A and B are shown apart, each in its own frame.
Chain A
């Protein structure tokens, strides 16, 4: 029937209008840069930085061989994962009770609490890290792995609190009443009702913390000692200090691949457990 055909056509148009901008965004800001990186990783560094002029000899797997030969790169990547995981867990432990408190406080106070959570963003990131240097210095913690973790947690805590809060705020309080009515004590109510229902929030908060921490270089550079290089610092160094763009490109491709791997695992897990 003509009417239904035109309706389906209209739906197709809408679908394109809705999906095209984000798709375009991803192509321009993710796919193309990633391809540039991929190409760069096969080329040779130029004499004064940048890339050597294109020729048959300047194309190869040198950067990959270099990374493969030295166990230090794998070790730094692993260490970065460890720092990111630890930061994520600490953020979760700190953010969950806070998000729960905000979600269960009277509606009028909630907005104020949320404002307080995002207020630190009002001042510059570097200034806040310098402030931590002044706090950690007298405590003899500066330039240590502990300082790096403290800084990472501090910077990323709001990214854990906000998705958790948005999730917890939507929970139907009657479900907790029902659980209590059916014989569940306070702990059981949390572990059997609140926690499983908050898993989507836990997952998105964890992704929002874990992934940026993996690539973060400013915090370890300012708060960590010289021995606390993470993958982010390493990449930055290749581009700015060593002027070895192919090596930097290869390292960041490795990081991107690792992040995509983690995201894929999370997506698979969430599809299986959270319908």
Chain B
């Protein structure tokens, strides 16, 4: 049985349907992420799980028990707020002791558990400090410790890394994964940062305009998106508008206006005549000087119109002769060379016939 279940949840604010018929389940011990742009309803879902909001339709279950009517203070669910919401008048130890005091633990147990949790987040020496004396990363860890100390069934995290700078965020991501593995508490994490979601989660539900577009493991979301929204939101992707000319068990034959025929992987259930787009990741495109002969089935000529040098990789924007622009990513792994093409270079773009996903409209 799933630890947390959402069944056909709908939430309206006036005329706005913030959450539309969402059904999800989260397993015990999972690091589950709600990913989507701002306003997609992910925070509303989090607030309904915490108990600060109630669905207009549908039901939530925790451990099989309906949550309806149970106030936030009675739910075994704790939240790490985006702003951390640390109590400014309490010390670090006082903040962490708060949920234990609320649960009526004994003085000895509180002291022991606060000590253990401080050690867990490496803040033993800050025990007597007040929140305003802490750095952003330290506040973040206090908020995590406070949420975890009373061993909730579920820890909700509302964009907790949003306020940190890039370097610190990366370190906190690693700490967060380690922490979750160590305590074994189920995490429900909300973010709009897709890379963060991919790096942290066991499973991700991608949300758009109140609906769950696709819920799956990160690798599946990345390699086989089921909709244009997911394909576009997760990572970078090239979308090539194309009609299906032929469909069989070996593959699809697509025809794109102005480009020509493209071979694509087989997609059962898609018949000839359908319209849609071929979604293909930049790292699946190979760029070579146009003088070299083509090696792969799909190959087109174009001109380098821009490039972004990122150190480990370079991202080229290549304008095909018919006007379509594609992004191609090449790793700079060859020793002694950091980049291969200049702006204006004539190049050939190629990809394998089994690369990409066809997304029918």
Which of A's residues lie within 8 Å of B, judged by CB? 172, 174-175, 177-185, 188, 192-193, 196-197, 274-275
Q: Which of under 10, 10 to 19, 20 to 34, or 35 or more describes the interface residues of B?
A: 20 to 34
Nearest residue (CB) in A for B50 is A181
Q: Per-position contact with A for B137-176: 1 when CB-CB < 8 Å, else 0?
A: 0000000001100100000000000000000000000000
Beyond the given A175-B87, A183-B74, A183-B99, please list 10 additional residue pairs across the A-B interface where CB-CB is below 8 A.
A172-B85, A174-B81, A175-B88, A177-B52, A181-B50, A181-B51, A181-B72, A182-B99, A192-B98, A275-B130
CB of B102 closer than 8 Å to a CB of A: yes
Nearest residue (CB) in B for A197 is B89
B102 touches which one: A172, A177, A188, A197 (CB < 8 A)? A188
- With A174-B83, A183-B150, A184-B102 known to touch, is A197 a contact of B88 (CB < 8 Å)? yes
Q: Which residues of B107-157 are within 8 A (CB) of A?
A: 130, 146-147, 150
Which of B's residues lie within 8 Å of A, judged by CB? 50-52, 71-74, 77-79, 81, 83, 85-89, 98-99, 102-103, 130, 146-147, 150
Nearest residue (CB) in B for A193 is B87
Residues of chain A lying within 8 A (CB to CB) of residue B72: 177, 180-181
Are B102 and A183 in contact (CB-based, < 8 A)?
yes
Residues of chain B lying within 8 A (CB to CB) of residue A274: 89
Are A175 and B73 in contact (CB-based, < 8 A)?
no
Nearest residue (CB) in A for B79 is A181
* Distance A173 CA – B147 CA, assembled complex (angstroms): 18
Residues of chain B lying within 8 A (CB to CB) of residue A183: 73-74, 99, 102-103, 150
* Distance A132 CA – B237 CA, assembled complex (angstroms): 78
Residues of chain A lying within 8 A (CB to CB) of residue B85: 172, 174-175, 177-178
Residues of chain B lying within 8 A (CB to CB) of residue A174: 81, 83, 85
* Distance A196 CA – B81 CA, assembled complex (angstroms): 21
Residues of chain A lying within 8 A (CB to CB) of residue B77: 181
Residues of chain B lying within 8 A (CB to CB) of residue A181: 50-52, 72-73, 77-79
A180 touches which one: B73, B89, B146, B150 (CB < 8 A)? B73
How far, in Å, is A210 (CB) from chain B's closest CB?
Answer: 24
Residues of chain B lying within 8 A (CB to CB) of residue A172: 83, 85
* Distance A179 CA – B52 CA, assembled complex (angstroms): 12
Residues of chain A lying within 8 A (CB to CB) of residue B81: 174, 177-178
* Distance A275 CA – B133 CA, assembled complex (angstroms): 11
Nearest residue (CB) in B for A195 is B89
Pairs A–B under 8 Å by Cβ, sample size 13? A174-B85, A175-B85, A177-B52, A177-B72, A178-B79, A178-B85, A181-B52, A182-B78, A182-B146, A183-B73, A184-B98, A185-B73, A192-B98
